[in-house]
Amino acid sequence: NAGVTQTPKFRILKIGQSMTLQCAQDMNHNYMYWYRQDPGMGLKLIYYSVGAGITDKGEVPNGYNVSRSTTEDFPLRLELAAPSQTSVYFCASSYSAAEPRYGYTFGSGTRLTVV
């Protein structure tokens, strides 16, 4: 059981480039989330999804896009990368908001540097 898998683990982008961070879960979780973690800070919610075809903005969505065509996959797209997007990105999933005792399962993170 792989849990939540994120790829790549590390990436360096030049300003203005684009990329997609991949996230896949094999637990049949309906809820998926993208967070970013800046140095010395807590995690901030970028986007979330409550099921295939349903996504919504979190606290810091600017500069990002998401899609959710399947239950398993929730990719995060960065368009026109900027230095302010240098961060560690975590994908997480949960079974149901009505079952809080299970909490989140986190991926291992993607460390992105924009130069």
Partner 1 sequence: ELKVEQNPLFLSMQEGKNYTIYCNYSTTSDRLYWYRQDPGKSLESLFVLLSNGAVKQEGRLMASLDTKARLSTLHITAAVHDLSATYFCAVGHNAGGTSYGKLTFGQGTILTVHP
Query: Is 106 near partner 1 (CB under 8 A)?
Result: yes
Q: Does 98 participate in binding partner 1 (rule CB under 8 A)?
A: yes
Does residue 56 interact with partner 1 by CB under 8 A?
Answer: yes
- HSE on the CB side for 20, CA within 13 Å? 9
Nearest approach, Cβ of residue 77 and partner 1 (Å): 21
10 CB-near residues (< 8 Å, 6+ apart): 110, 111, 112
Give the torsion sign (CA, 75, 27, 33, 107): negative
In the complex, the residues that contact partner 1 under the rule CB under 8 A are 31, 33, 35, 40-45, 48, 50, 56, 58, 90, 94, 96-98, 100-104, 106-109
